[in-house]
Amino acid sequence: MFLARVEGTLTATRKHPSFEGWRLVICQPIARTGEPEGVPQVAIDAHGAGMHQRVVISSDGAAARKAVGDERSPVRWLVVGIVDEVTPGTKALEDEAR
């Protein structure tokens, strides 16, 4: 699992049938300080994460395929949660910057 920031949504005119009904988001993995780490990933999102929100993404392809209900799906990344607090009792860093 990785901490990431939602950088945008993905629109596809043609996509694998298992992606029907799923929102696709571009997630930039980040360090705890908010600095980018690695390359952006496309993930399915059932939670409705907003632009620039911090999320937890998982690269567990088996769990992602189970979520879409297709064992042959090319899906790999899945948003598993939206981050409310980085440290218990404190707001996420992007909230502190506002």
pLDDT tens, residue by residue, 34-84? 899 999 999 999 999 999 999 999 999 999 999 999 999 999 999 999 998
| Residues 6+ positions from 46 with CB-CB distance below 8 Å | 22, 23, 67, 79
pTM for the structure as a whole:
0.82
Q: Which pLDDT does position 2 carry in this prediction?
A: 94
Residue 98, pLDDT score: 43
Cα(59)–Cα(76) distance, integer angstroms: 6
Estimate the share of the chain in helix, then strand, then coil, as percent rounded to the nearest 5.
15, 35, 50
Would the pLDDT of 32 be above 90? no
Q: Which H helix or E strand runs over 66?
A: helix 61-68
User: Is the pLDDT at 27 greater than 70, yes or no?
Assistant: yes
Domains and CATH numbers, the chain: 2-97 (2.40.50.220)
State mean pLDDT over 4-9. 97
